[in-house]
Structure formats: C-alpha cells, structure tokens
Amino acid sequence: MSTEQDMYAGTAETSQGRVFTVTGQDWDSVVDGVAEHADERVVVNMGPQHPSTHGVLRLILELEGETVTEARCGIGYLHTGIEKNMEYRSWVQGVTFCTRMDYLAPFANELTYCLGVERLLDVEDQIPEKAQVMRVLLSELNRISSHLVAIATGGMEIGALTVMTIGFRERELVLDLFELITGLRMNHAFIRPGGVAQDLPPGALDEIRDFVALMKKRLPEYAALCNANPIFRRRLEGVGHLNLEGCMALGITGPVLRSTGYAWDLRKSEPYSGYEDYDFEVQTWDTSDSYGRFRIRLNEMHESLKIVEQAAERLAGLEGAPVMIADKKIAWPSQLAIGSDGMGNSLDHIRHIMGESMEALIHHFKLVTEGFRVPPGQAYVPVESPRGELGAHVVSDGGTRPFRAHFRDPSFTNLQATSVMSEGGMVADVIVAIASIDPVMGGVDR
C-alpha cells in the first residue's frame, strides 16, 4: 500500500523502499509484502493513538526486523487554538483557556500565565501571602496527581495493571481535594491575576492532612511493587537512554533532565511564589533511562507531600487573610462569593452592588464586560510543571486583552527526544521511552 500522498510518511522522506500504512486490520498484506522483499526496511504508522501519551500522537517508525532505525512524531491531532483564542478575551478570561492546555497540570498553566500578567502589572509584591501559599499547595497536589497518571499509564502499557489501578485510585483522592477547593476536578481557572478565586472552604485543611497521612502509607506500595521488581526493572532499565549532553542540546527539562543527575528545578534555581521558604530536595537519578525517570517521579511525590504539609501548616495560621490583591481595579472576580445554594453570587454581594452603591455597580459592570488594562510590555515567568519548564510569554499593547500569549510547553520540547530515545532499540521499547517522557498532547498542540 504505497502512500505517496502522505505528508508524514511519503516515500521521498524515508530510505528507499516501500512505505506501509498499518491500521491494525491489514497486517497480512504487510507481511506478504515484506516476505517478497526481505532485504527491505518497513515503515509503519503507530497511531494516531494514545501510546502511553495523554492525547493523540502519531509515530512513524522505520523498522529493520524488530529494530527501530528511524522514529518520527506526527503531532497536531489535538490542536485547539488556545493561544489565538486568548487574544480575543480579557486578561482574566485567559485563565479559562490556558488551564485546558496541559490538562494534567492545569494549575501550572494558570500559575505561569498569572505570574506573567502580574509582572506586567507590576504588582508582584502585592499578592497576598495566603494566595501565594494556596498556589504552592495546589501546584504540589497537582504534581502528585500528574505523576500518578504518568506512572499508572506507563505501567499499563507494559502490562503492570496493578500499578495502573492503584495509580488512578490515588489520583481520585487528589481530584476530590481539587473539587472541594475549586469546585472542579480539572480546568479550574482558580488561580487568577492578583491571587486566587476564593478562600479555602471549611474543613479543607483537615481533608488535606488526611490525604497526606494516607499517601505516606500508600506511596511505599509503589516502591515495594516496582523498585526491585526484576520484571519491571528489566523492562525499563537501559530503555530510552538520553544523557545530559542530549538533554542540553534539545532543551529538555523536568524528570528527563534530572534522570541524568543534573539537579535543575526552577523551584530551587529560580524560585517563584515563595518556594524558597519551603524545605524540600530536588530529586535526581544517574541512569539517564526510563527507570531513573520512574524513580524520580516516585521520589518527587514524597517531596511534594512535604511541601503540602508545610503549606497546610501556614494556611492554618492565615485564617481570614485575603486571597486577592487589594487593588479593586484588578481584584474581580475573587470578591464574588458563592451563594448558599452553591451556585451564583451571594445575596450579600448582589445587594451591595445592586442596591447600595451605584459606583460599585458601574465598576463591577466595567470589570466584567471590559476587564482591566495592562501596561504595554512583555514578560516571561517560567514555573516547574510536572514535566519540566513551563513558561508563558505574555505581551500587552496596553489594552484589556493580551496582544499575544505564547506558552513554552515542556511536552512539546521534550517530545523531540522520541527519535534519539527510540532509534536503535526494539519496537516494543518505543512505548516505554515515550511513557518516560510523559507528554501531554494538549500542551503540545495548544
């Protein structure tokens, strides 16, 4: 089946020989074709599917027997136009869009965007302490939930189904906390320019402490199940090798970089949101392979629990403190409270803006319909997402909407490693290598 019209696997783009497009139903014809030309290499399409990725990825593999001689990524199947859409919404509404990019780490998306907007507004030193602590708390809970998915889906792809089931079991507990604090399991739009949307609800700190105590008991289960498991280790050790020089050349960050032994973590090297005040260690490994990346993610969850504990302790002493900047020209919509029915705005707030203050009503109307203005300029404030350096380059022309918002998503950059990790290895190891990168296609195709 020649596919000369295929822009990704055209015959001119590969070594000489016929190109096969495999959909899973026509292996007989491929086998017959290969049997006739045993000396030729075969090009097959793996996907578009979810091969240990979160989203739709297509892999174009050139095989010689079961050895991968060339591997390429075909992306763009999940494109949403998020960055362009943000140019047509107010600065606050932009959070609703960017939270949907890397949907396994929505708080990291929101945080880097809001830090950039706050730098343009020159209000970085006006963000309330409680808001900063809540941002750290949510970011670290999000790191735990994201790493749980990485380990769970990676285990599922190599047949370790117990790893998958317990990984998603624990992730549900984190999502329950997100729902309690923000009202949503994902796509929260909770971190806003100037602070966060709402204060912690009653009983949230107790739930967080219970979660930390439970996770301290359950995380060792992963270690007992996988760390010294000879089958698990043989499947991961030496697979997806990428050394420090390769990571530096490709701009790769996160657990893939730290698996080379290089302790680069923006929370330590370029602290933001007060991370310099928390006690935790940057986790590294020295094997530069898939097994090292698994161990790093496992260890990072322990460190995140330490940070969550410290954040919860600080929040206990900030009862009643503000969670949004005092400047009323920026502070909407955090000042809106939820009504007793769990929906809409509280009657007290509606009574105030509708019946007591014409100025409050006018100001509220302008903030909601038009939004606040941001001085002209550009800013880039990166954060350490579960997958590496995530940064938002926000540009303002002085208006109420972003002139441009462009995100440096680590999944997009790290996916470059697919070729060097896979070529020369077995076709079965391609999935393990990609799982160790942990790409989220929502961030790649934003």
Which residues contact residue 438 at a Cβ distance below 8 angstroms, ignoring those fewer than 6 apart? 146, 150, 154, 255, 293, 297, 386, 387, 411
The residue ranking higher by pLDDT, 206 or 346, is 206
- Decide yes or no: CATH 1.10.645.10 for domain 82-324+377-414+428-444: yes
φ, ψ dihedrals at 96, nearest 5°: -65, -30
> Strand, coil or helix: what is 215?
helix
Domain borders along the chain are 11-74, 82-324+377-414+428-444, 331-371
User: Which DSSP state fits 136?
Assistant: H
In whole angstroms, how far apart are CA 120 and each of 169, 344, 350?
41, 31, 31
Who contacts 100 (Cβ-Cβ below 8 Å, separation ≥6)?
80, 82, 106, 109, 187, 442
**How high is the pLDDT of residue 248?**
92
**Residue 320 pLDDT:** 82
Q: Residue 31: pLDDT above 80?
A: no
pTM: 0.85
Report the C-alpha gap between 417 and 252 in whole angstroms.
8
What pLDDT sits at residue 111?
A: 94
**pLDDT value at residue 252:** 92
Q: Report pLDDT digits (tens) over 167-189.
A: 889 999 999 999 988 888 888 88
Q: What gap in Å lies between CA 188 and CA 79, rounded to an integer?
A: 20
What angle, 0 to 180 degrees and rounded to 10, lies between the N-to-C axes of helices 106-121 and 129-157? 150
Q: How many CB atoms lie within 10 A of CB 366?
A: 14
Average pLDDT for residues 232-244, to the nearest whole number? 87
Quote the percentage of the chain above a pLDDT of 90.
Answer: 38
Range in 121-135, 394-408, 426-440 with the lowest mean pLDDT: 426-440
For 281-308, write each residue's pLDDT tens digit: 999 999 988 899 999 999 999 999 999 9
Question: Which band of pLDDT confidence, cut at 50, 70 and 90, is reported for residue 11?
Answer: very low
